[in-house]
Structure 1
Amino acid sequence: MSDIIYREITAADMAAVIDLANEVHGNNYLNEDSFQQYLAGGTLGDVQLNWIALRGETPLGVRITLAPGQWPIDDFCTPDAWPIPAEKLCYFKCAAVSEKARGLGIGKELLFRSIEAAKELGCRGGLAHIWMQSPNNSAYEYFTRCGGEMIKQHEKRWYKASVEDGYYCPVCDGTCYCDAGEMLLRFDL
Structure 2
Amino acid sequence: MRSSASIFYRQLQLQDYQPLLTLANTVHGAGYLDQPTLAYYHQLGIKHGQDASFVAYSDDQLVGFRLAWAAGNWQPDLWCSPELWPMPASQVAYFKCNTIAPKLQGRGIGGELMQRSVAALKAQGAQAGVAHLWRQSPGNAAVRYFSKQGGQLVKIHPDKWRKDSHNGYECVRCGFDCRCEAAEMILLFR
**Shorter-chain TM-score category?**
over 0.9
Q: Note the C-alpha offset of 1:52.
A: 0.4
Q: Distance in 1 between matches of 2:87 and 2:115?
A: 19
Q: Distance in 2 between matches of 1:137 and 1:114?
A: 22
Q: Note the C-alpha offset of 1:174.
A: 2.6
Number of aligned residue pairs? 187
Name the residue aligned to 2:144.
141
Gaps of 5+ in 2: none
Name the residue aligned to 1:180.
182
Give 1:18-33 correspondences, 5 Å limit: 18-33=21-36
What TM-score results when the alignment is normalised by the length of structure 2? 0.95
| The one of 32, 40, 44 aligned to 2:43 | 40
What TM-score results when the alignment is normalised by the length of structure 1? 0.96
Q: Distance in 2 between matches of 1:116 and 1:47?
A: 10
Q: Distance in 2 between matches of 1:100 and 1:19?
A: 15
Match of 1:131, as an amino acid? W
Q: Distance in 2 between matches of 1:56 and 1:111?
A: 21
| The one of 42, 45, 61 aligned to 1:58 | 61
Identity, % of aligned positions: 39
Moved over 4 A (4+): none
Question: Is 2:171 the partner of 1:169?
Answer: yes
Q: Distance in 1 between matches of 2:56 and 2:23?
A: 11
What RMSD over aligned residues (CA atoms) do the two structures have, in Å?
Answer: 1.0
User: Does the CA-based 8 Å contact 1:65-1:92 persist in structure 2?
Assistant: yes
Q: Note the C-alpha offset of 1:27.
A: 1.0
Question: Is 2:84 the partner of 1:81?
Answer: yes
Q: Distance in 1 between matches of 2:99 and 2:132?
A: 14
Match of 1:100, as an amino acid? K
